[in-house]
Structure 1
Amino acid sequence: MRHTGAWVAFTTAALVAASGCGTEGVKKAVKAVDKADAAMAALARATDRTEALGSAEVRMTTDTGTSGPIAMNGTYSWGHGYAFDVEMDTRAANMQAVNHSPTTHVLFVDGVYYYDVDRFPSGPYQGKDWIKVDGSVFFGKKGAQALSGDSGSPSASMKGLKYAKDVQDLGTQTVNGRRTTHYRGVIDSAHMGRFKDVYGEGSPMGKATGAKSILMDVWVGPDDLPVRLKEKIGVMTISMDFDKFGKAVTVKTPPAARTADLTEVIEKQRKQQG
């Protein structure tokens, strides 16, 4: 108790000296610390609640910084491993050469992407109407492994905020007709955890985006669930609105007989393009 009392006295004295405005400055400093702790506690509750559920209906946009935003709407599931089943804007994703539909059905299961496209009329893939691409082509082997399991879920992203610097409570805002509290934090490269293999320096996405940190904004509703999640990763911005949460769902892969595996073809093209 004697040592504890000395530590408290020393800390208070240091705060007084740093603030330069006596005991009133100490009160303000303590209040700021309390507010930061409250923000972290609120985010911890939201993370736990999100993780306990298994899926969500989402509306998402991804802006790579090199072209316009790509919109995707559908279901994200993380209760049985990270997976999604969405409709993506075909033209925005530059896939109109292989799909004449305005939207493209996209699945992500066990680290592999599947794209529903026009049926191949001839050649080695004749009759197939799905394209399969392993996630390692886009994220590298380590990055793809980092997104395996439930690591790609919204709760996994939110967990990273416990390592964020200067988490701020930006007050209440109305998002999608709901009253929310807006929180913001910055996760530097040293604290990205497994996401460092996805977005960090030296990773394929890191080279493409120039990311040195992740700026994360979360809008949390009164039910302790996220209403919106926005991440700024270098030149890339990802925004996700959550319309409805539910239990984990199973996303099934398309029949193998209808699927053309283009992993090696696309990987070779990417290497040729540098």
Structure 2
Amino acid sequence: MKPRHSAAWAGAAVVALVATAGCGTKAAEGAAEAVDRSAAIMAALTRATDRADQVGSAQVEMTTDLGTGTPIAMDGTYSWGDGYAYDVQMDTKASQMQTLQDAPTIRTLLVDGAYYYDVDPQPSGPLAGKEWMKVDASAVFGEQGAQALSGSSGSPVASLKGLKYAEDVDDLGTETVDGKRTTHYRATIDSSRMGKFKDALGDENGLLGATTGGVDSITVDIWVGDDDLPVRILQVMGAMKVTVDFEKFGATAEVKAPPAAQTGDLTEAIKDASGR
């Protein structure tokens, strides 16, 4: 496997996981020392967290700009009611996957901490005659990072919960987004308050750390609708910008892993290509 393919797969994972991972974390020591914020802002973010938690899934459109070329576009369904999973279509060329898929988009799944890419069967190698390519999250985030982001820690709910650990949270007023009236909030979270997500960013064996170029803080913009559900989330991490637009909440189909007989596992090959 060529290293540039590894970078593309890292980008694909970042698009879907980081875009909603934010700062999924349990209460940390020192949270009580977080900077003061208004009761109105905290109440609004709490309502948004609770509402998103209740619906458990969403149809989204997403773009990730890695700062190295054409932003990667994705759209599909995400669920977090029973673990974190997604089923999306990703721009093939922007993600540098055109050597493995001739179609303009490539279907990508996340199931039980593993990524699956619907590729064209290859004539030789681990993907010979296989329809799906599997990459374990540990190849992208490192062992520590994958463990930190297991379960539902990558969900939009975890992202919203993480905002209470921000140093600064501001109410930027009312804006119209995708035809919806929203209130725009902005939060800045430094490395000392990133909780588990810091493991994913800092693990030297993970491609995410190399992709972002190192992250000292995360800036999160969130637009909340009148129904107390998020309409858009924008995260900036180093050179990376990720935008998630929530088109519709609830009623998404269960995401299942492809049949093992149709899947080629490239996890170890990608770890080797990235220097493990």
TM-score, length of structure 2 as denominator length: 0.83
- Higher relative contact order at CA 8 Å, sep ≥6: structure 1 or structure 2? 2
Distance 2:204 2:275 in 1: 15
Please tell me whether residue 243 in structure 1 is matched to residue 247 in structure 2. yes
2:220 to 209, 216, 220: 216
**Residues 226 and 120 of structure 1, relative CA distance in 2, 3 Å threshold:** same
2:112 is the alignment partner of 1:102: no
Which residue number in structure 2 is paired with residue 81 of structure 1?
83
Pair member with larger Rg: 1
Provide the secondary structure at the position in 1 that maps to 2:115: strand
Are the equivalent residues in 2 in contact too, given 1:89–1:102 (CA < 8 A)? yes
1:153 is matched with 155
Matched, 1:46 2:48: yes
Aligned-pair Cα RMSD in Å: 1.8
Identity %: 60
Q: Which consecutive unaligned segments of at least 5 residues does structure 2 have? A: 1-34
User: Could you tell me how far 1:37 is from its partner in structure 2?
Assistant: 2.1
Specify the SS of the correspondent of 2:196.
helix
Q: Which structure has the highest helix share of the two?
A: 1
Consecutive unaligned residues of structure 1, counting only runs of 5 or more, are 1-32
Q: 2:117 aligns with which of 115, 118, 133?
A: 115
Is 2:173 the counterpart of 1:171? yes
Equivalent AA in structure 2 for residue 158 of structure 1: L
Match of residue 126 from structure 1: 128
Q: What is the total number of aligned residue pairs between the two structures? A: 240
Deviations 1:177-235, CA, capped at 9 Å, x for gaps: 00000000101111111111122475732343121111000000000000001110111
- For 1:252, what is the secondary structure of its paired residue? coil
1:226 aligns with 2:191: no
How far apart in 2 are the matches of 1:208 and 1:122? 29
TM-fit CA distance, 1:146 = 1.6
Post-superposition CA distance 1:58-78 (Å, at most 9, x none): 000111122221000000110
User: What SS is found at the alignment partner of 2:38?
Assistant: helix
- Find the residue that maps to 2:89 and give its secondary structure: strand
1:269 paired residue number: 273
Q: Which moved more, 1:240-249 or 1:111-120?
A: 240-249
TM-aligned CA deviation for residue 124 of structure 1: 4.9
**Residues 156 and 248 (structure 1), Cα distance of their counterparts in 2 relative to 1, 3 Å cut:** farther
User: 1:172 touches 1:182 (CA, 8 Å); kept in 2?
Assistant: yes
